[in-house]
């Protein structure tokens, strides 16, 4: 329940602040809408998994620096927050169906332009379009899932978001297998067209419910009032850290550890495979530990996993990937679920501001760390190195730089451990005072 703390002016847990539950209209095919949502998220995740796998090859093909590669990869994270925030604001007005048709068109344009890319700027623009499409999918599908399953939000958001790591697993395996048989990066990217066309068709044909906030009669002014709750600001800040920990590491793991392990891309496959399984069993985990308890446990495991990835080699890297996958497994959907359950009046805007904040933080961090990586590599190349020795020296420089970037990122989950420990204490005291 919501209560008002006179000193902190925080509004938490009161029945009057919970939107009224609504009955699902009979013309809404809930299961088909959920499947179509998963297909849309699959395209989003394939774009992450395949891009992570082809990033090095694109860099070689178009003679791009790590800074340029970081900027291209970050472009998807710019488009995402732009689309997710704007989409979150207008979804209640235009409806989720129109927003998802727009997502399909952006996906289609971005995929085709990536296939026919011929250099830095075409990759930049195509990645931006795909980022906008990804953000639009989240802007519509997150409130769609909470509208379809109002009594089981966090669990169903985890089930929905298991297709993000699931698609990354599929994407990285496609890259690994297609590279082995010598298929081009264009064919690898083209695979994304299949689920894109499927979800576009399904969403065009199906009827949609209203968003939960609109259906329950919460006014726009009430929604914006709920957004200034200090607890919401705290969760936004924490979202910066959870998103960077999960998505930056996953997106750059092949670049950072390629010179440490011959199977760096498989580390991403293992990590995301663990995430798929974990999110599939989210229900009993969330009910046993509570969303805030899950976030604390996850942060501890993520920190331990990053430590192992940055300080070990050989088979221990795979152990680190497993532990890291267990750690970041519940981050994204549980952060959204926590806000949706405990600050329900924030509605679609609240959920999508969380997602947008996370992706924006990743985009800024990715650009910064791309430049940091280049500087580390340059610093590890001795002055006067001959052209004959340059290849070996460069490999050793990259081998040292990758783990150093990971070790720098490790600071973030360590800070989050303190933050989520405080959140657990706060929520327990709030519950007792209710």
Of 251, 317, 194, whose CA–CA distance to 71 is shortest?
251
Integer Cα distance of 108 and 185 in angstroms: 17
pLDDT class for 4, splitting at 50, 70, 90?
A: very low
Per-residue model confidence as pLDDT tens digits over 203-254: 999 998 887 777 777 788 888 888 999 999 999 999 999 999 998 887 677 6
In this predicted structure, the answer to whether residue 7 has a pLDDT above a threshold of 70 is no
In this predicted structure, the answer to whether residue 301 has a pLDDT above a threshold of 90 is yes
What is the mean predicted confidence (pLDDT) over 87-107? 91
What is the model's pLDDT at position 244? 95
What is the model's pLDDT at position 421? 97
Integer Cα distance of 319 and 297 in angstroms: 18
What is the CB neighbour count within 10 angstroms for residue 150?
Answer: 19
What is the mean predicted confidence (pLDDT) over 245-273? 74
Mean pLDDT of the chain: 84
Share of the chain above pLDDT 70, in %: 89
Per-residue model confidence as pLDDT tens digits over 328-357: 999 999 999 999 889 988 888 899 899 889
Please report the DSSP string for 223-277 in residue order: HHHHTT-HHHHHHHHHHHHHHIIIIIHHHHHHHHHTTT-TTHHHHHHHHHHHHHH
What is the mean predicted confidence (pLDDT) over 395-410? 85
Quick one: tokens of 207? Answer: 């009827």
The single residue listed with the structure tokens 């009057």 is: 16
What DSSP designation does 19 have? P
What is the model's pLDDT at position 226? 86
User: Residues 162, 280: contact at Cβ < 8 Å?
Assistant: yes
Of 334, 363, 383, whose CA–CA distance to 132 is shortest?
363
Helices 264-280 and 282-289 pack at an angle, to 10 degrees, of 70
Residue 370 backbone phi and psi in degrees, to 5: -65, -45
What DSSP designation does 210 have? P
Quick one: tokens of 311? Answer: 């300080």
**pTM of structure:** 0.79
Of 331, 328, 332, whose CA–CA distance to 271 is shortest?
328
Q: In what helix (H) or strand (E) does residue 106 lie, and over which residues does it extend?
A: helix 96-115
Collapse the DSSP code of 108 into the 3-class scheme (helix H, G, I; strand E, B; otherwise coil) and give the result: helix
In this predicted structure, the answer to whether residue 26 has a pLDDT above a threshold of 80 is no
Q: Residue 42: which residues within 8 A CB-CB, separation 6 or more?
A: 163, 166, 167, 170, 195, 199
Integer Cα distance of 341 and 13 in angstroms: 9
Which domains, and CATH codes, for the chain? 29-433 (1.20.1250.20)
Integer Cα distance of 170 and 310 in angstroms: 25
In b/e form, how buried is each residue of 165-189, taking b as 16+ CB within 10 angstroms? bbbbbbbbbbbeebbeeeeebeebb
Integer angstrom CA distances of residue 17 from 168, 223, 314, 356, 424: 38, 10, 53, 24, 21
Query: Max CA-CA distance within the chain?
Result: 74
User: Residues 85, 227: contact at Cβ < 8 Å?
Assistant: no
Beta bridge partners, 12, equal 3
Collapse the DSSP code of 365 into the 3-class scheme (helix H, G, I; strand E, B; otherwise coil) and give the result: helix
Report helix, strand and coil shares of the chain as percent, to nearest 5.
80, 0, 15
What is the model's pLDDT at position 92? 84
């Amino acid at each position: 329940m919501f209560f008002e703390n006179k000193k902190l002016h925080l509004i938490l847990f009161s029945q009057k602040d919970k939107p009224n539950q609504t009955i699902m209209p009979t013309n809404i095919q809930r299961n088909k809408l959920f499947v179509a949502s998963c297909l849309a998220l699959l395209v989003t995740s394939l774009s992450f998994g395949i891009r992570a796998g082809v990033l090095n090859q694109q860099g070689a093909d178009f003679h791009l620096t790590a800074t340029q590669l970081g900027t291209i990869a970050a472009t998807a994270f710019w488009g995402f927050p732009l689309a997710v925030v704007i989409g979150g604001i207008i979804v209640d007005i235009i409806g989720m169906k129109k927003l998802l048709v727009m997502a399909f068109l952006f996906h289609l344009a971005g995929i085709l332009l990536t296939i026919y890319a011929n250099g830095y700027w075409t990759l930049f623009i195509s990645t931006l379009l795909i980022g906008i499409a990804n953000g639009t999918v989240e802007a519509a599908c997150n409130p769609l899932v909470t509208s379809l399953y109002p009594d089981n939000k966090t669990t169903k958001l985890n089930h929905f978001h298991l297709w993000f790591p699931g698609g990354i697993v599929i994407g990285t395996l496609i890259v690994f297998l297609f590279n082995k048989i010598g298929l081009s990066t264009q064919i690898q990217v083209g695979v994304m067209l299949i689920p894109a066309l499927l979800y576009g068709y399904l969403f065009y044909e199906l009827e949609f419910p209203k968003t939960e906030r609109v259906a329950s009669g919460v006014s726009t002014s009430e929604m914006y009032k709920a957004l200034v709750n200090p607890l919401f600001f705290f969760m936004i800040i924490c979202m910066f850290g959870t998103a960077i920990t999960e998505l930056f590491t996953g997106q750059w793991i092949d670049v950072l550890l390629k010179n440490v392990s011959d199977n760096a891309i498989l580390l991403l496959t293992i990590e995301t495979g663990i995430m798929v399984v974990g999110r599939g069993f989210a229900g009993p985990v969330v009910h046993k530990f509570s969303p805030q308890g899950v976030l604390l446990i996850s942060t501890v495991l993520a920190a331990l996993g990053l430590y192992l990835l940055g300080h070990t080699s050989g088979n221990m890297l795979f152990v680190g990937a497993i532990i890291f996958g267990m750690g970041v497994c519940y981050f994204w959907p549980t952060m959204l679920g926590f806000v949706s359950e405990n600050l329900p009046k924030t509605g679609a805007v609240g959920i999508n501001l969380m997602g947008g904040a996370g992706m924006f933080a990743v985009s800024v961090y990715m650009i910064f760390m791309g430049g940091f990586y280049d500087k580390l590599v340059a610093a590890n190349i001795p002055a006067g190195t001959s052209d004959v020795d340059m290849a070996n020296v460069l490999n050793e420089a990259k081998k040292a730089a990758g783990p150093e970037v990971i070790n720098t990122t490790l600071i973030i989950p360590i800070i989050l451990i303190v933050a989520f420990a405080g959140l657990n204490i706060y929520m327990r005291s709030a519950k007792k005072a209710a």
